[in-house]
Amino acid sequence: MKKKLAEINALIEKHDRFLITSHMDPDGDSIGSQMALYYSLLNRGKTVAVVNQGSIPAKYKFLDPDKVIDFSPDMLSFSPEVVIILECPSLDRIGFVRDLIPESAILLNIDHHNDNENYARVNIVDKESSAVAEILYLLFEEGKSDITPVIAKQLYAAISSDTGRFRFGSTTSRSMYVASRLIEKGAGPKEIADNLYSGMLPGTIKLLGRTLASLKVELDGKIGYFTITREDLEKSGGTIENSEGFVDFILSIYGVRMGFLFKELSDDVIKVSVRSQNGYDSANFASMFNGGGHTNAAGFSEKGELETVVKDVMKKAREYIRECD
Could you tell me the domains of the chain?
2-197 (3.90.1640.10), 202-324 (3.10.310.30)
| pLDDT on residue 304 | 95
Please write down the long-range contacts of 59-63, taking CB distance under 8 Å and 24 or more positions apart: 59/195, 59/196, 59/197, 59/199, 59/200, 59/242, 59/244, 60/26, 60/27, 60/28, 60/31, 60/32, 60/157, 60/161, 60/196, 62/195, 63/28, 63/31, 63/32, 63/35, 63/153, 63/154, 63/157
Q: Please tell me the distance from the alpha carbon of residue 37 to that of residue 43, in angstroms, as a whole number.
A: 10
| pLDDT on residue 273 | 95
pLDDT along the chain (325 residues), means of 10: 94 98 94 98 97 91 95 95 96 95 97 91 95 98 96 98 87 96 97 89 94 96 97 94 89 94 92 92 93 87 96 97 90
| pLDDT on residue 175 | 96
| pLDDT on residue 289 | 95
Q: Which residues contact 4 (CB under 8 A, 6 or more apart)?
A: 122, 123, 124
For 268-284, the DSSP string reads: SEEEEEEEE-TT--HHH
Q: What is residue 136's three-state secondary structure?
A: helix
Q: Which residues contact 88 (CB under 8 A, 6 or more apart)?
A: 21, 22, 23, 94, 109, 111, 113
| pLDDT on residue 267 | 76
| pLDDT on residue 115 | 83
Please list the residues that pair with 270 across neighbouring strands.
Answer: 264, 302
Number of neighbours of residue 126 by Cβ within 10 angstroms = 17
Strand order through the sheet with 17-22: 47-50, 17-22, 82-86, 106-111, 122-125
| pLDDT on residue 234 | 96
CB 160 within 8 A of CB 192: yes
| pLDDT on residue 241 | 84
CB 237 within 8 A of CB 200: no
Q: What is residue 141's three-state secondary structure?
A: helix
